[in-house]
Amino acid sequence: MEPRDPRHPSPRRPLRRVRDALDEVRRRVLRRRRLIAALLLGVAAAVALRSLAPPPPATAAMLVAARDLPAGQALRAGDLATVRIPPGAVPDGAAADPVGRRLAAPLRAGEPVTDVRLVGPDLGTAQPAGTTTVPVRLSDAGQVALLTAGDRISLLGTDPQAGSTRMLARDATVLAVPDRASADDGALPGRLVVLALDSDAVYHVTTAAAAEYVTYTWSRS
């Protein structure tokens, strides 16, 4: 047999190295078999729990006031925040896009924005049957500044010619007190308010507003 050239290793040597490496891996696995088994059991348990866990509950988006907002505020995007709540907890009339509309009543931070809090055609929908939503110009703008949405007032009309005063409407609800910029035209005295009036009183109030000095008494109870 010819002597083997040392520069050309035996073809069996690489196979032996592979076999030795596999034997070493097997020994290491056997030494750590308890740890590996524990890890595999943990993974299996996590997968099982995830598969058995109920799906996350459904939620719906709702717009709320991001901070305390006054009546008359023209809503901007920064005044609002979006919260996720159960669909059944969304109030009726929740506003989907109120940006640019004015508040008829103050909102506390976190309160939902609904149609009955906004100046517009839906403002009177929460009022009792037999009432009508009416904009009324009261004669004294300073008196109007004392009112807030939710006040209950009685309207009085004073005839400047006769000097007599009469009751025009009782227990009217102030729905909104628009700010001067959006409600005054500069030509007429006084200031507008939006009221929920007994339907039978609407004619008397609107007629008096054009010819008499209209003021009010009120109760915050």
Please tell me whether residues 135 and 211 are part of one structural domain.
yes
Contact 177, 144 (CB under 8 A): yes
Identify the CATH number of the domain in which residue 67 sits: 3.90.1210.10
Domain range for residue 178?
Answer: 131-219
Q: pLDDT digits over 63-115, tens only? A: 999 999 887 778 999 999 999 989 888 888 888 899 988 887 778 999 999 88
Average pLDDT score, the chain: 80
Task: Say if 136 falls within a structural domain.
Answer: yes
Query: pTM for the complete prediction?
Result: 0.54
Rg (CA), the chain: 39
Please tell me whether residues 110 and 149 are part of one structural domain.
no
**Could you tell me where the DSSP H helices lie in 116-179?**
141-144
- Give the tokens for residue 179: 């700010």
What pLDDT is attached to residue 155? 94
Q: How confident is the model at residue 167 (pLDDT cuts 50, 70, 90)?
A: very high
Looking at 94, 117, 140, the residue that finishes a domain is 117
Task: Say if 75 falls within a structural domain.
Answer: yes
- Give the tokens for residue 154: 């009685």
Number of structural domains, the chain?
Answer: 2
Mean pLDDT lowest for which of 24-33, 124-133, 168-177? Answer: 24-33
Task: Say if 84 falls within a structural domain.
Answer: yes
Task: Say if 103 falls within a structural domain.
Answer: yes
Residue of 139, 120, 148 lying closest to 191 (CA atoms):
139
Looking at 117, 139, 164, the residue that finishes a domain is 117
- Give the tokens for residue 121: 């055609």
